[in-house]
């Protein structure tokens, strides 16, 4: 009984499930058919709307095309009309030019006829004048022959004699006139020039120190010398190799000599030695380390020195490379004169002279400070230092006036601006003062000998003496060969030859002495 009930229930469930399946499937099928019909309707509607929009767009495009065609047609007609007007204007101008040219041609032919008439008249007058000239030549020739016959002189001899007389008179008058002009100009200009120069020197008044190519390194005891030399001299060789300085260890008590023409390398060696002695560890590896560190320190000091000096002088806007070159000037000397001190002095003098003359003092000071930067090349150059300095100034953005003043302060190039002679004068004042610079004995004696030889090479000179360190040349002449007027001309000729053949700082005074002696003996 229980089994039948269970089976009945199971069968009922199965039948229910099957009936639900078939009923649901039928319902879904009806929904699907409904959606499909709805989609077909919407598709038909969309197609109709698209066709309507297509027709509308087609009509708009046709209208736009017609408008564009009308616009292009109007533009073309306008261009054609403009070209026609332009052609008409050109034709009118051409017609006017033709008319004007035809009138000018008529005027030209009329003038040409008048000119031909004038030329004919001039030809007749020229023939008459030429005939008169021939008659005058014949008369002049007869007169000359008559005068030659009377004076027993040919015309050529008389002409040469007259020319010699006139030349001598003109030369004497010219010398006298030149002497008067020079004396008058000296009375007015010499005192004013001296006043300006003296004021400039008074306002500078700096002390100068003369540097050598040898530095002395002091040590506390001679025991340090052995440590510096090292075993078999390895330390001193390493130090010389690293610094490029010759180290002289001799019997001088408590001192070591550092010899080198380059002051920067000499200073690096001195500081390195000081650090090594203080540290106590002296061996090749330590030497290289200390020298490298000292080189970096010196480079930094060079830049600081350059910056400090341009700030002190009130100069601004200098390139960093030029600042480094200015710093290197401290370790460079010229004829024993410190280059940085010399440049500072030339800068001050240039500024003072420029201000006294009413010129740009700042520009003159800048040019004076940079005038010798060509003396500190990192590599040797065959060019003069003035030209090299001018090229560096151009490279690092200095203006034309500064560059010309640098390049022309030794007359290598032409002076084109007013500050150029000012810088040259300031350089001469700074370098030519007694005791500032030191020349070698050989160059000094050679310069004096050349001065005397130039004077002796002139006719009538008996003796010549260079005095005051070559700043004055006294010339003794023979009184029977050179008179007073020729003595003045001789001084001018000697000074001109010195200018052309010698290079010298400052100026050289040429004094010609002519002496007449009358000697009698009473017996």
Phi and psi at 247, nearest 5°, equal -105, 120
Superfamily grouping for domain 441-514: K homology (KH) domain (3.30.300.20)
pLDDT, one tens digit per residue, over 28-47 is 767 767 777 777 788 888 88
Burial readout 379-414 (b: 16 or more C-beta within 10 A, e: otherwise): eeeeeebbbbbbbbbeebebeebbbbbbbbbeeebe
The domains spanning 316-438 and 441-514 adopt the same CATH topology = no
Instruction: Answer yes or no: are the C-beta atoms of 498 and 508 closer than 8 Å.
Output: yes
Position 294 confidence tier, pLDDT thresholds 50, 70, 90: confident
Position 433 confidence tier, pLDDT thresholds 50, 70, 90: low
pLDDT of residue 380: 64
Give the start-to-end residue ranges of the domains of the chain.
212-313, 316-438, 441-514
Position 2 confidence tier, pLDDT thresholds 50, 70, 90: very low
* CATH match of 316-438 with 1.10.3210.10: yes
pLDDT of residue 299: 86
pLDDT, one tens digit per residue, over 444-502 is 667 778 888 898 999 889 888 887 667 788 888 988 888 888 888 888 889 888 888 88
pLDDT of residue 442: 56
Composition of the chain by helix, strand, coil, percent to 5: 70, 5, 20
Residues 295, 302: Cα–Cα separation, whole Å = 10
pLDDT of residue 321: 87
Position 329 confidence tier, pLDDT thresholds 50, 70, 90: confident
pLDDT of residue 210: 43
Find residue 100's DSSP bridge partners.
Answer: none
State the pTM of this model: 0.46
Q: Domain 212-313 adopts which CATH fold?
A: Ribosomal Protein S8; Chain: A, domain 1 (3.30.1370)
């Amino acid at each position: 009984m229980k089994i039948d009930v269970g089976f009945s229930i199971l069968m009922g469930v199965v039948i229910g499930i099957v009936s639900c399946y078939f009923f649901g499937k039928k319902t879904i099928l009806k929904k699907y058919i409904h959606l499909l019909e709805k989609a077909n309707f919407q598709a038909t509607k969309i197609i109709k709307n698209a066709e309507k929009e297509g027709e509308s767009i087609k009509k708009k495009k046709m209208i736009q095309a017609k408008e564009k065609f009308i616009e292009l047609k109007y533009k073309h007609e306008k261009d054609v009309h403009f070209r026609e007007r332009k052609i008409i204007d050109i034709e009118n101008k051409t017609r006017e030019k033709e008319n004007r040219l035809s009138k000018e041609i008529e005027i030209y032919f009329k003038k040409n006829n008048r000119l031909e008439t004038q030329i004919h008249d001039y030809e007749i007058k020229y023939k008459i004048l030429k005939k008169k000239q021939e008659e005058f030549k014949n008369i002049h020739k007869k007169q000359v022959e008559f005068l030659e016959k009377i004076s027993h002189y040919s015309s050529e001899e008389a002409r040469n004699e007259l020319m010699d007389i006139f030349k001598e008179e003109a030369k004497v008058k010219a010398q006298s006139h030149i002497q008067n002009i020079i004396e008058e100009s000296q009375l007015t200009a010499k005192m004013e020039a001296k006043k300006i120069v003296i004021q400039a020197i008074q306002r500078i008044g700096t002390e100068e120190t003369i540097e050598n190519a040898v530095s002395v390194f002091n040590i506390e005891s001679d025991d340090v010398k052995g440590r510096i030399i090292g075993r078999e001299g390895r330390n001193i060789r390493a130090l010389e190799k690293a610094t490029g300085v010759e180290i002289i260890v001799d019997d001088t008590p408590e001192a070591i000599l550092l010899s080198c023409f380059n002051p920067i390398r000499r200073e690096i060696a001195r500081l390195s030695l000081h650090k090594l002695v203080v540290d106590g560890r002296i061996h090749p590896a330590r030497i290289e380390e200390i020298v490298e560190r000292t080189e970096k320190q010196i480079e930094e000091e060079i830049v600081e020195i350059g910056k400090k000096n341009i700030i002190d002088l009130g100069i601004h806007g200098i390139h960093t490379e030029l600042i480094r070159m200015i710093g290197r000037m401290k370790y460079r000397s010229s004829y024993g004169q410190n280059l940085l001190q010399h440049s500072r002095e030339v800068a001050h003098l240039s500024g003072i002279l420029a201000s006294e003359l009413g010129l740009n003092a700042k520009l003159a000071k800048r040019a004076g400070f940079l005038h010798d930067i060509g003396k500190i090349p990192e590599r040797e150059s065959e060019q003069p230092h003035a030209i090299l300095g001018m090229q560096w100034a151009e490279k690092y953005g200095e203006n034309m006036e500064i560059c010309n003043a640098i390049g022309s302060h030794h007359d290598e190039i032409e002076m084109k601006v007013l500050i150029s002679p000012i810088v040259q004068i300031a350089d001469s004042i700074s370098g030519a003062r007694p005791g500032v610079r030191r020349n070698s004995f050989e160059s000094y004696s050679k310069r004096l000998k050349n001065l005397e030889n130039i004077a002796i090479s002139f006719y009538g000179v008996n003796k010549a003496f260079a005095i005051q360190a070559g700043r004055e040349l006294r010339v003794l002449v023979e009184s029977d060969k050179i008179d007073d007027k020729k003595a003045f001309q001789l001084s001018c000729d000697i000074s001109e030859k010195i200018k052309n053949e010698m290079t010298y700082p400052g100026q050289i005074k040429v004094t010609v002495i002519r002496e007449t002696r009358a000697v009698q003996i009473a017996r």
